[in-house]
Each structure stands twice: as C-alpha cells, then as structure tokens.
Chains A and B, each alone.
Chain A
Amino acid sequence: MGLQTSRSLKPDNPGATLRPDGREPFVAAIEPVRMSKTADATVESVPLPPRLAVDIRNVSLTFETSDGKVDALSNVSLQIADAEFVSFIGPSGCGKTTMLRVIADLQQPTTGTLLVNGVSAEQARLERRYGYVFQAPALFPWRTIEKNLKLPLEVMGFSDSEQQQRAARYLALVNLTGFERKFPWQLSGGMQQRVSIARALSFDPALLLMDEPFGALDEIVRDHLNEQLLRLWDKTGKTVLFVTHSIPEAVFLSTKIVVMSPRPGRIIDIIDCNFPRDRTLEIRETPEFLKIAQRVRIGLRAGHSYDE
C-alpha cells in the first residue's frame, strides 16, 4: 500500500505536530476535529487514495497464562478504510475483543505492526483519536448523566462552555435530552448504553471502537439501537469497528464483516456488505441479506470445525 508515501504535504501546517500524517482531518457532519479545524480545512485538493483508518499487518498476540501460552491473535492482517463500518464476528475466544483492545492500545501486540489513522496505536490513543464503547455502559455512578458525558471533555481540558454545549448536543443525538440531571441507576440499560455511546462521540474522534455494545440488551432494544447507530454512522461519517456475536446485527450494520475463529485467533473471511446507507430493519428479510448471513454462518461453522 502506498500508505507511507502520501504524507507530508504541508510541512508548515501548524497542526502538523498534532497530525503527523499530514492528511485531511476527519470532518464530521457535526463538528470538525478540535485540534486542527481551520488549518487543514483550507488545503488539500490533491486526491488521495482512500485513507486507512486502521492498518494491521501480521499482528500476533500471545498471552502467558498459568496453563501455558494462548494465541489470542495469530498473524492477523487487516486494512480498514475511512468511514467504513466493520463488524467482527466469531465465537468466544476468537480474539475479536483483543483485536479491538490492541487497536485501542489497551494491549500491546507481541509481534507485527499496527497503524491507527496513520500513526502508532499509542500515538493515536495519546491524541484521543478514538472513542471506545464497552460491553457494559461503565458510567460513573456518582456522576449525573450530563457529568458523565462531560467526563472525557474534562479530562481533555475543554472549556466549560464547550463542555456544556457538547453535552447538550450529544445527549440530543442519542435522544436523551431531559435526562441531564438523572443518575445512571435511574436509566434503563439501553439508555445507559446510549449515554456511553454519546460519551464516546463527545470529543469527536474519527474512530469509534465498540465491543459488543448491545450484547447485554434484549432484542427489541437492540434492534432499535442498531437502527439508531446506523443513522448516527450515516450522519457523522465515522469509522466504526464493531464487535458482535449476532449475525443479523453484523450484516445489518456493516460495510464489511470480518469473520474470526478461535485457537489461535485469526481472520477466516472478510465479507463486503454494501446495503444502501438508508437501510431499515426490513432489509433483513431480503434474499441479499440472507445470502450474506448465510456466508457468515458458513464461515463461522468452518472456523468451528477446525476446533473440534
């Protein structure tokens, strides 16, 4: 890939220190990236190849446990372009969560290289390039909903007025206006998870990492949130990496489905899946949808038989 070559277009760009890749910043429908609003927006007319949000090359990760080594990831390579919605699907222990954690620099690979938005995973984390949504909402119980939303903004040193404005905007985005002063326990599980998504979006990262965000919710809430997430993705144009156990969820949401298999954790199939962006839940009944779901299922089954 000509990934490393297309850099350094603007050596005197004041934002260059913050964005060493020298590329056009991700501009969301909502608000541009805070660090380099004006500087980058004016330049950049040369068409670039589609930017890679995540570039994983030959990454392996081995855990040392008391009963020997476990290959959580084995020689995984994957390129994810900007603004894609990529789902990771596979049985437990196939390394999907580990993959997300490696991208988030919450875990370091044993071998291999990894670039997030053109910089190392650690750099990307230090520059707050991604938002992470966990399986549980992980809200801070002593903070009101509004204060929970403001937490990353406080950590990142946004001004008070900016915090206020963003909290209001992102609560509105997940349809939770009016719940500002409630505490997390006063909200349902689905609402809490929406708060945690809003929190991950609040500082406007280009990349959204979601680790089974709806895994603990019932199917009705899940369907509803899937539709909302799709709208959100469409509206904001973010790159989303989404770990799931559910085939319909993966097929419904994704532009690309990565099928993984355990022991050792590896990718066994990558399926393109391009339904129109304004799709609704009804497409789940169409033959195209079922065909893709079928292919995912076959992939999963093949991965499993390896195991038995």
Chain B
Amino acid sequence: MTNSAFVLPVSAAGALRRHPLVERYAPIVTIVLGLIAIWYVAAVLMNLSLVRGGFEREETPYTVSELIAGTMSAERPLLPAPHQVIAAFVDSVFGYAPNAPRSLVYHSAVTLSATLLGFALGALLGIGLALMIVHSRVLEKSLLPWIICSQMVPILALAPIFIVVLGAMGLQGLLPKSIISAYLCFFPITIGMVKGFTAPDPMQLDLMRTWSATPRQVLAKLRWPSAVPYLFASLKVAISISLIGAIVAELPTGGEAGIGARLLAGSYYGQTIQIWAALLVSAILASALIGLVDMTQRMVGLRMGTRP
C-alpha cells in the first residue's frame, strides 16, 4: 500500500502509452512535428540574409525577433515557413471557385484526369507486354531490352518531343499528357507482372497440365490470380509515377493548366509559396491515389482469402 501512490502515475502514463490511438499515431505525429521543427529552423537560416538585406537597404533598425519574424513572413522567401505554405494552400483550395484559374482544385482536376487516363493506359500496356513476354521467349528477348532502354531516356528530354510530335498529329490537351504519363508508369507494371505471371508453383502448373488445361485456362485460373499481389505492388509504384509523368508533361505545354503549370508559373515569377502549395497538393494527390490502390488491394485480398 505504501508505494501505491508512487506507482499510480507511472501506470497511468503506461496506460496512456499503450492506448491504441497513441500506439498507432504517436510515431507518425512525432516524425511530422520533428520535420516541421526542422523546416522552421531551415526557413529562418535560409531567409535570414534576405531579410537582413531588406532591413539594411531601408536603413531601418531591427531587432533579432523582428528579423526572425521577417524570415517567416517574407513575400518571396527562399524557403517559405510551413504556416505560409498552408495558408497559401488553404487560400488557393478554398478561396476560389473550383473552376477558377487560380484555384488549386481546378489545376488538380486537370492533372488528375491526365494521371488517371495515363495510369489506365500504362496499366494496360504494362500487363499486355508482360503477357507477351511470359508467353514467348522470342518476344522476351526482343522486347525486354527496348523496355529497359525506354526508361533510361530522361522524361524531361522526351516530354517536349512527345508534345510537339503529337501536337503535329493533331493531338492536344489531355491525351499527350496521358501518353507521357503512361510511358513512365507501364514499366514497373511490366516488370512486376512478368514476375507475377511466372509466380505459380511448378506443382500447380503440373496440376493444370494433368487436367490438360488450355493455355487460356492456365492464364485465367492460375497465372492471373497468382500475379495479383505483384499487380498491386507495381500499381502502387506506377500510380505515383504516372502523377509525376502528368506533372512533367504539363511543363513544356507552356503552363496553361495543371499542377505542373502552377509550378512553372511559380518559378517564373519567383512565387516560392505558390510552388510549395502546388507541391503540397501533388503530395496529397499522390497519397490519396496510393491509398485508393491500397484500399482496392484490401478488398480484393478479402475476396481472395488472404490471411489477415
């Protein structure tokens, strides 16, 4: 009894630590808070000379606290402070009508449509190529080097060529961007699905053979279901790549619309806060897309009896 008063607060702290919500989110929150702290420090250090220069040019006396406050509220800082980015983000997401050219919702929708179309095209192309590679040794030998080569050329160099060539063919707007996005994202899907289609156990393949199953049945009933885990792993990589592809494809179009256009406009006019807000939006989009793939995977996994 004597030490119960001593033990109680400790066990209460322990209980708090073991609370499911705390256990789940404490690590994430800690990391995020740490990053934000580092970000503020970096913002102060990077913008310091800029702000000091400003004060000295105007020959106004300044204190250290004014200096530090200045680094976090500059109009065109080298590195905007988190709260500036969030303010700009909130303003451009909620401050305008969703179809206004200054609204990030509008630009996100433009980029998102190119991303999704590119992702769909890339997934089809990736799976198709994998099927060809798995079913024919000749195609494997002839296709695979080209597939790998295609990924060695920097997309930044290729994107303008694509846009110009496709534009000359009369294709403009959504489709050229989607094609660039598909060009980038088919690769992990091809590689993943080649692995997936060859994943079945030799015993399972032998079984299908003893039942004299047709190649089509082997594909539908064995190779395809065995490839599903590989499919989702590669889709998760591919969907974030296809977002990057869509953004990169927006750069050479001269910045009409889309997250890429916002980034370009921001860098033209030194609007660092605008750039960061656009980056924040693309990060949110990417996580949402990956989350969507993840959710689909869970649902499919449930139906396919994946061990919980």
A185 CB-CB contact with B under 8 Å: yes
Q: How far is the CA of A203 from the CA of B228 in the complex (A)?
A: 28
Q: Is the CB of B305 within 8 A of A155?
A: no
Within 8 A of B (CB), among A8-55: none
Within 8 A of A (CB), among B82-127: none
Chain B residue numbers with a CB within 8 Å of A155 are 208, 211, 213, 217, 221
Q: Name, among A138, A183, A185, the residue most crowded by chain B CB atoms within 10 Å (CB to CB).
A: A138
Within 8 A of A (CB), among B125-181: none
Chain B residue numbers with a CB within 8 Å of A134 are 203, 206-207
Q: Is the CB of A142 within 8 A of B304?
A: yes
- What mask results when residues 14 to 50 of chain B are scored 1 for a CB within 8 Å of chain A, else 0? 0000000000000000000000000000000000000
A3 CB-CB contact with B under 8 Å: no
The 3 closest A-B pairs by CB, nearest first: A183-B305, A142-B304, A138-B203
B225 CB-CB contact with A under 8 Å: yes
Q: Is the CB of B206 within 8 A of A132?
A: yes
Q: From A157, which residue of chain B is reached at the shortest CB distance?
A: B217
B208 to A: closest C-beta gap in Å: 7
Q: Is the CB of B204 within 8 A of A132?
A: no
- What mask results when residues 125 to 149 of chain A are scored 1 for a CB within 8 Å of chain B, else 0? 1101011101010101111100000
Q: Name, among A106, A126, A128, A203, the residue most crowded by chain B CB atoms within 10 Å (CB to CB).
A: A106
Q: How far is the CA of A134 from the CA of B304 in the complex (A)?
A: 23
Chain A residue numbers with a CB within 8 Å of B228 are 142
Q: Is the CB of A156 within 8 A of B211?
A: yes
From B201, B203, B206, B211, A128 is in contact (CB under 8 Å) with B211
Chain B residue numbers with a CB within 8 Å of A162 are none
Q: How far is the CA of A4 from the CA of B123 in the complex (A)?
A: 56
Q: Is the CB of B210 within 8 A of A131?
A: yes
Chain A to chain B contacts (Cβ below 8 Å), 18 pairs: A106-B206, A126-B212, A130-B210, A131-B210, A132-B210, A134-B207, A136-B203, A138-B207, A140-B225, A141-B305, A142-B225, A142-B306, A152-B211, A155-B211, A155-B213, A155-B217, A183-B305, A185-B305
Q: Is the interface of A mostly helix, strand, loop or mixed?
A: loop
Q: How far is the CA of A104 from the CA of B206 in the complex (A)?
A: 10
Q: How far is the CA of A27 from the CA of B304 in the complex (A)?
A: 37
Interface, chain B (partner A; CB < 8 A): 201, 203-204, 206-213, 217, 221-222, 225, 228, 304-307
A154 CB-CB contact with B under 8 Å: yes
Q: From A137, which residue of chain B is reached at the shortest CB distance?
A: B203
Q: Is the CB of B210 within 8 A of A125?
A: yes
B193 to A: closest C-beta gap in Å: 17
Question: How big is chain A's contact interface, by range?
Answer: 20 to 34
Q: From A182, which residue of chain B is reached at the shortest CB distance?
A: B305
A184 to B: closest C-beta gap in Å: 8
Q: How far is the CA of A151 from the CA of B209 in the complex (A)?
A: 13
Q: How far is the CA of A266 from the CA of B304 in the complex (A)?
A: 44
Chain A residue numbers with a CB within 8 Å of B217 are 155
Chain B residue numbers with a CB within 8 Å of A104 are 210
A61 to B: closest C-beta gap in Å: 16
Q: Is the CB of A185 within 8 A of B307?
A: yes
Q: How far is the CA of A131 from the CA of B207 in the complex (A)?
A: 9
Chain A residue numbers with a CB within 8 Å of B204 are 138, 140
Q: Is the CB of A144 within 8 A of B207?
A: no
Chain A residue numbers with a CB within 8 Å of B210 are 104, 106, 125, 128, 130-132
From A106, A138, A144, A152, B305 is in contact (CB under 8 Å) with A144
Chain B residue numbers with a CB within 8 Å of A125 are 209-210, 212
Chain B residue numbers with a CB within 8 Å of A131 are 210
Q: How far is the CA of A151 from the CA of B213 in the complex (A)?
A: 10
Q: From B206, which residue of chain A is reached at the shortest CB distance?
A: A106
Q: How far is the CA of A156 from the CA of B217 in the complex (A)?
A: 10
Q: How far is the CA of A134 from the CA of B206 in the complex (A)?
A: 10
Contacts beyond the supplied A130-B210, A132-B206, A141-B304: 11 A-B pairs with Cβ under 8 Å: A104-B210, A106-B206, A125-B212, A131-B210, A132-B207, A136-B203, A142-B225, A142-B228, A155-B208, A156-B211, A185-B307
Q: From B209, which residue of chain A is reached at the shortest CB distance?
A: A106
Q: How far is the CA of A143 from the CA of B221 in the complex (A)?
A: 10
Q: How far is the CA of A142 from the CA of B213 in the complex (A)?
A: 19
Q: How far is the CA of A136 from the CA of B212 in the complex (A)?
A: 20
Chain B residue numbers with a CB within 8 Å of A132 are 206-207, 210
A243 to B: closest C-beta gap in Å: 14
A149 to B: closest C-beta gap in Å: 13
Chain B residue numbers with a CB within 8 Å of A128 are 210-212
From B203, B206, B305, A142 is in contact (CB under 8 Å) with B305
Within 8 A of B (CB), among A110-128: 125-126, 128
Chain B residue numbers with a CB within 8 Å of A136 are 203
Q: From A181, which residue of chain B is reached at the shortest CB distance?
A: B305
Q: From B210, which residue of chain A is reached at the shortest CB distance?
A: A132
Q: Name, among A128, A136, A151, the residue most crowded by chain B CB atoms within 10 Å (CB to CB).
A: A151
Q: How far is the CA of A154 from the CA of B210 in the complex (A)?
A: 14
Q: Name, among B209, B211, B213, B221, the residue most crowded by chain A CB atoms within 10 Å (CB to CB).
A: B211
- What mask results when residues 54 to 84 of chain A are scored 1 for a CB within 8 Å of chain B, else 0? 0000000000000000000000000000000
Q: How far is the CA of A138 from the CA of B210 in the complex (A)?
A: 13
Chain A residue numbers with a CB within 8 Å of B221 are 140, 151, 154-155
A135 to B: closest C-beta gap in Å: 8
A44 to B: closest C-beta gap in Å: 27
Q: How far is the CA of A106 from the CA of B304 in the complex (A)?
A: 29
